[in-house]
Amino acid sequence: DFEVHRNWLAITSSLPISEWYIESTSQWTLDYPPFFAWFEYALSFPAKLFDEQMLDVENLEYASANTVLFQRLTVIAADTLLLVSVIVLSSSRVKLGGLLCVLCSFGLFVVDHIHFQYNGLLSAMLLLSLAMMSKGESVVGSVLFAVLLNMKHIYVYIAPAVFVHLLRNDCFTNDSISFRSFSLRRFLLL
């Protein structure tokens, strides 16, 4: 996945937006939703400070030491959001346990830090989204979830459960789930 993300950095930094999803020099075409493309675009600015050659679309399989370092550092930096979300969302009793689970997660280390993925960032967004919804901050949680869906489409599998949660907790005016307690106004506000 190193070359995938290097190529996406190159596409988003050197081509007009209209060509991001049709550029096919590499077999690793940009096939993630638009917010992830914009994330790669944002990463391309500091990438120039490490090695501008990584941003050349024609520079296939380019893997200088500075390019590898840059990509590894961006994954680690993005994963700090997962640590922050665990700290923010955990009670004081489970904070240390949650942090240890994240820090000792072999899967996160292998997938994110060796294969240059950003799953820690995406998991943090999911956790924050669900936490906001469970705390009654449905609009904030919904916006975070919508951003997540626009970062990586695989989270669409969770969307029906999120919809049911929002429908049940925010669209009914009392504890009973009946037609009379359904609020169209609340539904439209979501």
- Residue 67 identity (one-letter amino acid): T
Predicted local distance difference test score (pLDDT) of residue 36:
94
Predicted local distance difference test score (pLDDT) of residue 81:
85
Predicted local distance difference test score (pLDDT) of residue 20:
94
- Residue 33 identity (one-letter amino acid): P
Predicted local distance difference test score (pLDDT) of residue 40:
94
The fraction of the chain above a pLDDT of 90, given in percent, is 38
Residue that wins the pLDDT comparison between 83 and 62: 62
Q: Are 158 and 122 in contact (CB under 8 A)?
A: no
* pLDDT digit string, tens, across residues 34-66: 999 999 999 999 999 999 999 999 998 899 999
Q: Are 130 and 166 in contact (CB under 8 A)?
A: no
* pLDDT digit string, tens, across residues 147-184: 999 999 999 999 999 988 888 777 777 666 667 777 77
d(CA 88, CA 91): 8
* pLDDT digit string, tens, across residues 15-34: 999 999 998 888 888 899 99
> If we measure between CA atoms, which residue out of 130, 39, 32, 37 comes closest to residue 77?
39
Average pLDDT across the chain, whole number: 84
Query: What are the backbone dihedrals phi and psi of residue 61, each rounded to the nearest 5 degrees, phi first?
Result: 60, 25
pLDDT (mean) for 9-20 = 94
* pLDDT digit string, tens, across residues 105-143: 777 766 666 667 788 888 888 888 888 888 888 889 999
Q: Chain centroid to CA 20: how far?
A: 19
- Residue 129 identity (one-letter amino acid): S
**Residue 80: which residues within 8 A CB-CB, separation 6 or more?**
none
